[in-house]
Amino acid sequence: MLISDVSNNGLSLLSETRCFGGTQKRFSHQSDSLNGEAVFSVFLPPESTPVFGVVLWLSGLTCNDQNFVTKAGAQRTAAELGLIIVCPDTSPRGDEVANDDAYDLGQGAGFYVDSTQAPWKTHYQMFTYINVELMDIIKSVFSKGKKIAISGHSMGGHGALISALKATEHYVSVSAFSPIVNPSKCPWGQKALSTYLGNNSAAWQAYDACELLNAMTEDFTLPILIDQGKDDEFLDSQCLTTPIEAVSNLSNVDVRYQDGYDHSYYFVTSFIEEHLQFHAKYLAQ
Ligand SMILES: N[C@@H](CCC(=O)N[C@@H](CS)C(=O)NCC(=O)O)C(=O)O
């Protein structure tokens, strides 16, 4: 249900809920890059707490903008630190948007790339949506000149890493939970990249964190924190996290393997406070 139209910035407020003294909001807007309506969520800290910075969160397969909001429990720490958290959807949506019956392709599985292949390319332009269109909205409506960090889970961890590597100018730090770090070498990534980008290895490499890092001639110095559950059911089958340790030109990375944790949001909620504290260090500088 639409609560109000905020016509001067093109955002429509869908819902607004008090949370830890701040406000959890949900907006829709007409997206040029996704060629349709897009929805995203924003947590705003209490008005009495000075805004410290923004964390952009990217979720994983099957998620929309609500999974992190309702499961990660990030609002308490965000309210204390004065962090705005922005959570976009993971793909374009709608009856007219190409889709697939599988959970790991189509709606809910945009993989944060700009598709070049029909029928996907009409709407699946998630890299541009996140790093240009939503970034413009964050800067013009929410951040008030404060700095921005990026984080994500699984497919969203891949999205956070490639955003930090390809649109570095926007971000002060990047973190990820159980990220797909080498999508061109794992089943989830190979399926999505071949569908959205065709069988073009150069195009795949442009959206693969390990391949992007290996192609760099200088060290990548942006601070990176990665948490990986040792009991993650996808750790080996989807080559999560481990391949990034073989990349030599990372000078500021902390990769942590956590005993007993699986791939779920129980893992995210267990360490999200540490990730927000990590980002707060760099947002402050
Ligand atoms: N077993 C899952 C595989 C997908 C999955 O684990 N998705 C993760 C991200 S890769 C997730 O966050 N799911 C939504 C949730 O747990 O709320 C399913 O079929 O839905």
Give the pLDDT of residue 8.
61
CB of 105 sitting under 6 A from ligand 1: no
* Burial (Cβ within 10 Å: 0-12, 13-18, ≥19) of residue 50: exposed
Which ligand 1 atom is the nearest neighbour of the CA of 153?
9
Which ligand 1 atom is the nearest neighbour of the CA of 265?
16
Annotation says 154 is catalytic: yes
Supply the ipTM of this predicted assembly. 0.94
Q: What is the CA(233)–ligand 1 centre distance, in A?
A: 11
- The DSSP-derived string for 113-136 is -B--STTGGGT-BHHHIIIIIIHH
pTM surpassing 0.95?
yes
How confident is the chain (285 residues) per 10-residue block, as mean pLDDT? 60 97 98 98 96 97 98 98 98 98 98 98 98 98 96 98 98 98 98 97 96 95 98 97 94 96 98 98 93
Give the pLDDT of residue 1.
44
* Domain spans, the chain: 12-178+262-283
Q: ω into residue 45 within 30 of 0, thus cis?
A: no
Annotation says 263 is catalytic: yes
Cβ count within 10 A of residue 236: 10
Q: What is the CA(97)–ligand 1 centre distance, in A?
A: 21
The Cα angle at residue 84 between residues 178 and 253, in degrees rounded to 5: 35
CB of 69 sitting under 6 A from ligand 1: no
Q: What is the CA(235)–ligand 1 centre distance, in A?
A: 14
CB of 67 sitting under 6 A from ligand 1: yes
Amino acid at 113: V
Options 3.40.50.2020, 3.40.640.10, 3.40.50.1820, 1.10.10.10; CATH of 12-178+262-283: 3.40.50.1820
Give the pLDDT of residue 260.
98
Q: 263, 270, 275, 279: which is the annotated catalytic residue?
A: 263
Residue to substitute in 62, 155, 264 for testing ligand 1 pocket (most ligand atoms within 8 angstroms of CB): 62
